[in-house]
Amino acid sequence: MKIFYCCYGSAHSSVVAASIHLGMLSERGKPSIKDLINLPHYDKTRSYQIGIPFFMGTDEKGRDIYIIGMGGEKQMIKRAIISLLYELKVPDNEYVFVDTLHLTNFITKIGGVLSRRLGIIFLGRPLTAIGIRMKFFDFVNLVKHVKNETS
């Protein structure tokens, strides 16, 4: 099973969801801002990397966990990946795409624009983490749902 956590730029919400899934972040308590910004790929993906799946790890049940930014071309990127999986003879029931973007709030979005688009990292990166912390248990619930549905 391959699980693709998807967001706009594979820099924030998909990273957090994948990190919860893999146990890099505890489901029991909100992580600190430092915990979030120290995650692999957190607020580091460049715009030219949109559409590239990044392997985050394999979970306890052998599921491969990826993050992917889809930018404004969500359907096109998803079709491209699905067609590649088809050519590689990966059955439809062996992969799932999980949208995480709907869990981001205004603070995370503003922080992402400041950091990733405008390069004001010292201000944007902490804002993204503050916004993520506010919605953290929504991410936990999403990951629990994904784990239950893909067991």
Residue 151 has pLDDT above 90, yes or no: no
The tens digit of pLDDT for each residue in 71-96 reads 988 899 999 999 999 999 999 999 99
The tens digit of pLDDT for each residue in 34-77 reads 999 999 999 999 989 999 999 999 999 999 999 999 998 889 99
Residue 148 has pLDDT above 90, yes or no: yes
- Describe the crossing of helices 13-21 and 136-149 by its angle, rounded to 10 degrees: 60
Q: What is the percent of the chain where pLDDT is above 90?
A: 96
| pTM of the complete model | 0.95
Cα(33)–Cα(71) distance, rounded to whole angstroms? 25
For 16, the token pair is: 């957090």
Contacts of 107 (CB under 8 A, 6+ apart): 127, 128, 130, 131, 134
Contacts of 8 (CB under 8 A, 6+ apart): 50, 69, 70, 71, 101, 112
DSSP 55-76: EEEE-TTS-EEEEEE-TT-HHH
Average pLDDT, the chain: 96
